[in-house]
Structure 1
């Protein structure tokens, strides 16, 4: 089998009302998704999505004519291309989609087959006042979630702590709460300084008192000493991070220096599926956890799910969910059916060969801009 072509579609869904994501400097009035397809001479086409894939046309010749199943070669080629351009990890996801199809197995089975589903947590996007966030947490529990991630603005930490406290009081000790401080990286154009270490130490100590399950991305990635300080001072709360850490050597340095409790690199944004598997297995051998970031679209969610379920990640899997601003229907607008959790609160791995992606061809045509 040989790769004959690599094509992409750029889609844009208008958002009305807009999504007011905590990490965005401005309200998000549209949602972009790039779908990449890898075509073969045997009629099998793999699908991936995640990053923008800018400049794909110049990268495609590196793969055309090659065996799509030569995944180690392709991962190294993607890493070399990433150095000069965008991040092309959705291309690797499309290749794994082909490999799973050829094998007649879901990709998670090729990655270890540790689990057929993972318990999902509702990953919120917007900053909400305490009463409103309590209402959304109660709704999430009704849907089946047993955990939720809440965002805290570094400039409004008192309100953020009050929100977490209100959710804890309303939902009790059996509902797990994660907190994301969004301090490790910035969106383009966001020049705000990260919260300083002293303020972050006070904040994490207060969150630990509220029995928060983990605190995510509390400091810039470069501050390894700061991360270790937070862990040492707060043994009752886990420290999580790494969702957009593009450097595998740096992630390995995190492991060697025992920087985090929970490692979260996104397989379609940060390090790819093959490398994330390696990191996950090493983390688990050190008694640390792997639970990837999954804030792209349904295709990206599936790619991350197959890796996490394959290696036995957890203890939760991230499921972007914050209605009405962010719903499965918005997130997965290019799919025939949006991904949903089961009554057991788990996100189940599709058992079709490959990644289990089924596109809505009418939606792709409707929202295509390139």
Structure 2
């Protein structure tokens, strides 16, 4: 089998009303998605999505004409290209889609086949006051979720903690709550300093008293000593991070120094599917968790789901969900049908060869803003 062509389409969905994501300095008035298609001489087309793929045209020749099944070679080639400024992990997802289709199995089976479904948590985006967040949590539980992640802003810690406490009081001890402090990385142009360790430590202590399942990204990625100190001080709460950690050597250092309880590398944004699997397997051998970040679109969500289900990730799978601002329909607009959570709170792996991506070609035609050079 040979790769005959790789196309990259850029899509844009207007958001009205805008999404007020807690980590964004400005409201999001549109949502972009990049769709990668790898075509082969045997009629199989693989589909991937995730990062922007900006600059891919300069390295397309590294892949066209090669065998798509040679995934180790392709991962190494993507890493060399990424070193020079690219972010081409959506291509790897499309290649795994080809491999799954060629072998006739879901990609999760190729990654170990540990599970056919994973418990999902509603990953919220917006900052909401206590009463409003309680209402949304009750609605999420009605929709099937058994867990939710709540954002806390650095300049709104008191209201954030009050919100978490209100959700705990309203939904009881059987509803898992995670909290994201969003302090490990910044959006482009956001130059604010991270919250200092002493303040963060006090926040984590108060959240531990409420009984949260984990506290996510409480410190910048480089503060290994700080992460370890938080884990040592508050063993009753897990410390999670790594969603945008692009360095495999740094992630190996985290494992060697036992920095985190939960590793969260996004397979289409951070280190790719193949490398994420390696880190995830090592984390699980150390009795730590792998729960990947999945805030792209339905295609990226499926790629993360297949890896997580393949290796036995958990204790929950991230499912971006915060109606009305963020719904499966908005998130998965390139797909013929959005990915949904079952009544039991789990998200199922599509039991078809490949990733299980089915595009809505009419929507793609309507939202397409051109290929990416």
Number of aligned residues: 370
**2:45 counterpart of 1:45:** yes
Structure 1 partner of 2:113: 113
Offset of 1:59 from its aligned partner? Answer: 1.6
The SS at the match of 2:207 is helix
Structure 2 partner of 1:162: 162
The SS at the match of 1:86 is coil
The SS at the match of 1:34 is strand
Unaligned runs of 5+ in 2: none
Residues in 1 aligned to 2:349 and 2:189: alpha-carbon distance in whole angstroms: 37
Q: Deviations over 1:158-207 (max 9, x none)?
A: 01000000000000000000000000000001011100000000000000
Residues in 1 aligned to 2:315 and 2:157: alpha-carbon distance in whole angstroms: 27
Structure 2 partner of 1:358: 358
The SS at the match of 2:59 is helix
The SS at the match of 1:344 is coil
Residues in 1 aligned to 2:303 and 2:137: alpha-carbon distance in whole angstroms: 26
TM-score, structure 1 normalization:
1.00
Q: Deviations over 1:255-288 (max 9, x none)?
A: 0000000000000000000000000100000000
Structure 1 partner of 2:78: 78
Structure 1 partner of 2:295: 295
Residues in 1 aligned to 2:234 and 2:255: alpha-carbon distance in whole angstroms: 19
Structure 1 partner of 2:247: 247
Structure 2 partner of 1:129: 129
Structure 1 partner of 2:95: 95
The SS at the match of 1:137 is helix
Structure 2 partner of 1:308: 308
The SS at the match of 2:369 is coil
Runs of 4+ in 1 over 3 A off after TM superposition: none
Offset of 1:86 from its aligned partner? Answer: 2.1
Unaligned runs of 5+ in 1: none
Structure 2 partner of 1:226: 226
TM-score, structure 2 normalization:
0.99
Q: Deviations over 1:109-153 (max 9, x none)?
A: 110000000000000000000000000000000000000000000
Q: Deviations over 1:275-304 (max 9, x none)?
A: 000001000000000010000000000000
Structure 2 partner of 1:20: 20
Residues in 1 aligned to 2:65 and 2:308: alpha-carbon distance in whole angstroms: 31
CA RMSD in angstroms, aligned pairs only: 0.4
